[in-house]
Amino acid sequence: MTLSVDVRHHQGDFLLDASFDSGGRLTALFGPSGSGKTSLVNIIGGLIRPQQGRVTADGRVLVDTAARTFVPMHKRRIGYVFQDARLFPHLTVRQNLAYGRFFTPAAERYADFSDVVDLLGIGHLLDRRPASLSGGEKQRVAIGRALIASPKLILMDEPLASLDEARKAEIMPYLEKLRDESRIPIVYVSHSVAEVARLATDVVVLDHGKVVASGATGDIFSRFELLPEEERGEVGALIELALVGHEESFGLTVLRSAGGEWRLPSIDAPAGTVLRVRVRARDVMLALERPVGISALNTLSVTVVDISANAGPEALVSLDSGGDRLVSRVTRRSVELLGLAPGRKVFAVVKAVTFDKANIGGSHYQHRSI
Ligand SMILES: Nc1ncnc2c1ncn2[C@@H]1O[C@H](COP(=O)(O)OP(=O)(O)OP(=O)(O)O)[C@@H](O)[C@H]1O
């Protein structure tokens, strides 16, 4: 599905002037507080009627101010998940879920109750009431309620923002499953680099009401200037690694990318699973020769593609690794000392222990040939 947005809307002193197209399975609207993410998601959902512009989803016009078209929220077939679950306290989980499908005409219901319950792992909660659920469980039920309505699109506005790190980690795999197994595109609002890097296929970066960049997540998050100052340590590359096997005695998992073999701390998944892994630029060292006698477990032969540096001490070196992109953050001094330049072949060295749960995404398209 392609979502096309091109809108202008004043709210007090704030002007939202945003335009983007996305065909991604999970498109993140990413940006600092007050950049317009919620306003934009509310325009897509029909909670806000823009003063000017057009929104289409799969060619279906939701808003077109020039043609005076405005499809009301309840006719858009869009599922909403907010930061707070907004479940009905007096209804059980089963009744909350069933409520979701109430407004969908019978002929248009494609979502199967038990499939949704299985996908979100909420079967054991069906007879409970929201007050007895944890924050993460409530959010899973809220997502279930949105899914059971058989939506054409799901909007999630900071769905993890009110959860602590442990609850976030618990819910992530369900969001990944939803992204990979359901056919429903998701628009996801967040200002967290870690969350967006793990979940999004596409990112729209907003700043002061304007789209400053949009594209594939890996491309966006390898660009230093698009991340907020305090999150620049998170700049990095996203690569797909296919699981080859486990070295149980060392607690390691062996994986393969287009550029070579990797060893990461043990990942609980079978051989053939394809994982999406974020390799932070600050964790990648460069060497002119293949290092020997070094503790780091991952060494890949790479080619320098591009070097970007400004007046500061650092440079961001973009690397080709068998068709994958990696990025390395080094000092400008190292660039000079090593004679780094586009086309130069070097070795990228990454310590296994730099990977943790936050940068190893689960994936549910398994058993791809490797
Ligand atoms: N009803 C309103 N009237 C006037 N200004 C508004 C209204 N709603 C939002 N704004 C302003 O519009 C701007 C964008 O708000 P919005 O909630 O879309 O940003 P956001 O990126 O979602 O922020 P956050 O991450 O803090 O939720 C802000 O400056 C906000 O104060």
199: CATH: 3.40.50.300
* Of 65-69, 194-198, 358-362, highest mean pLDDT: 65-69
Does any domain span residue 229? no
Q: Is residue 69 located within the same domain as residue 200?
A: yes
Tokens 């007879």 identify what position? Answer: 127
Q: Can you tell me which atom of ligand 1 is nearest the CA of 31?
A: 21
257 C-beta closer than 6 A to ligand 1 = no
When pLDDT is cut at 50, 70 and 90, the band that residue 363 belongs to is: low
Q: Which residues of 263-273 are buried (b: 16+ CB within 10 A; e: fewer)?
A: bbeebebeeeb
Do 290 and 186 share a structural domain?
Answer: no
* Residue 37 beta carbon below 6 angstroms from any ligand 1 atom: yes
15 and 155 both lie in a single domain: yes
Q: Is the CB of 35 under 6 A from ligand 1?
A: yes
Q: How far apart are CA 261 and CA 239, in angstroms?
A: 13
pLDDT band at residue 167, thresholds of 50, 70 and 90? confident
Confirm whether 231 is domain-assigned. no
Q: Is the pLDDT of residue 364 over 60?
A: no
The first and second tokens of residue 285, run together, are: 């060292």
Query: In ligand 1, which atom is closest to the CA atom of 35?
Result: 21
Q: Supply the ipTM of this predicted assembly.
A: 0.92
**pLDDT, tens digit, 9 for 90 and up, residues 64-102:** 999 999 999 988 989 999 888 889 999 999 999 998 787
> Is residue 106 included in any domain, yes or no?
yes
Same domain as 290, residue 173: no
Q: Is there an atom of ligand 1 within 6 Å of 11 CB?
A: yes
CB 349 within 8 A of CB 317: no
Domain around 271: 237-361
Asked whether 206 and 28 are in contact (CB, 8 A), the reply is no
Predicted pLDDT at 365: 44
Q: Are residues 189 and 270 in the same domain?
A: no
CATH of the domain at 354: 2.40.50.100
Choose from 28-42, 75-89, 162-176, 177-191 the range with maximum mean pLDDT. 28-42
Q: Is 39 in the pocket of ligand 1 (CB under 6 A)?
A: yes
Across 95-109, 296-310, 328-342, least confident range:
95-109
What is the number of structural domains in the chain? 2
Q: Which amino acid is at 275?
A: L
> How do strand 26-30 and strand 186-190 relate by DSSP bridges?
parallel
Number of the ligand 1 atom closest to the C-alpha atom of 41 = 18
The strands making up 345-350's β-sheet, listed across from edge to edge, are 284-287, 345-350, 298-309, 314-321, 324-331
359 to 68, 194, 248, 275, 353: CA distances (angstroms): 45, 7, 21, 10, 11
Smallest CA separation from ligand 1 atom 10, residue: 11
- Are 244 and 213 part of one and the same domain? no
* Residue 138 amino acid letter: K
- 34 Cβ inside 6 Å of ligand 1: yes
Does residue 143 share a domain with residue 94?
Answer: yes
What's the sign of the alpha-carbon dihedral 60, 63, 65, 70?
positive
In a domain, 329, yes or no: yes
Exposure of 119 in the CB half-sphere (CA atoms within 13 A): 23
State the Cα–Cα distance between residues 184 and 153, nearest whole angstrom.
Answer: 6
Do the domain assignments include residue 232? no
CA of 37 to the centre of ligand 1 (A): 8
Question: How does residue 53 score in pLDDT terms, banded at 50, 70 and 90?
Answer: very high
Distance in angstroms (rounded) separating the CA atoms of residues 304 and 344: 5
Query: How far apart, in whole angstroms, are the C-alpha atoms of residue 253 and residue 238?
Result: 18
Contact 324, 239 (CB under 8 A): yes
Tell me whether residue 26 is in a domain.
yes
Inter-CA distances, 258 with 34, 151, 263, 266, 320, Å: 40, 37, 14, 20, 10
Is 251 contained in some domain? Answer: yes
The answer to whether the CB of 203 falls within 8 A of the CB of 28 is: yes
207 CA → ligand 1 middle, Å: 12
pTM attached to this predicted model: 0.84
Helix-strand-coil split of the chain, %, nearest 5: 30, 35, 35
- Residues 59 and 175 both lie in one domain: yes
Domain check: are 249 and 157 in the same one?
no
Question: Is the distance from CB of 41 to CB of 187 less than 8 angstroms?
Answer: yes
Q: Does ligand 1 have an atom closer than 6 angstroms to the CB of 42?
A: no
- Asked whether residue 248 falls in the same domain as residue 179, the answer is no
Say how far apart CA 79 and CA 45 lie, in whole Å.
8
**99 and 180 belong to one structural domain:** yes
Query: Is 299 inside a domain boundary?
Result: yes
Query: How many angstroms separate the alpha carbon of residue 38 from the centre of ligand 1?
Result: 7
Phi/psi zone of residue 157: left (φ > 0), alpha (ψ -120 to 50 degrees), beta?
beta
Mean pLDDT across the chain = 90
114-128 per-position pLDDT tens digit = 988 988 899 999 999
Using most ligand atoms within 8 A of CB, pick from 13, 14, 48, 191 the residue to mutate for ligand 1. Answer: 14
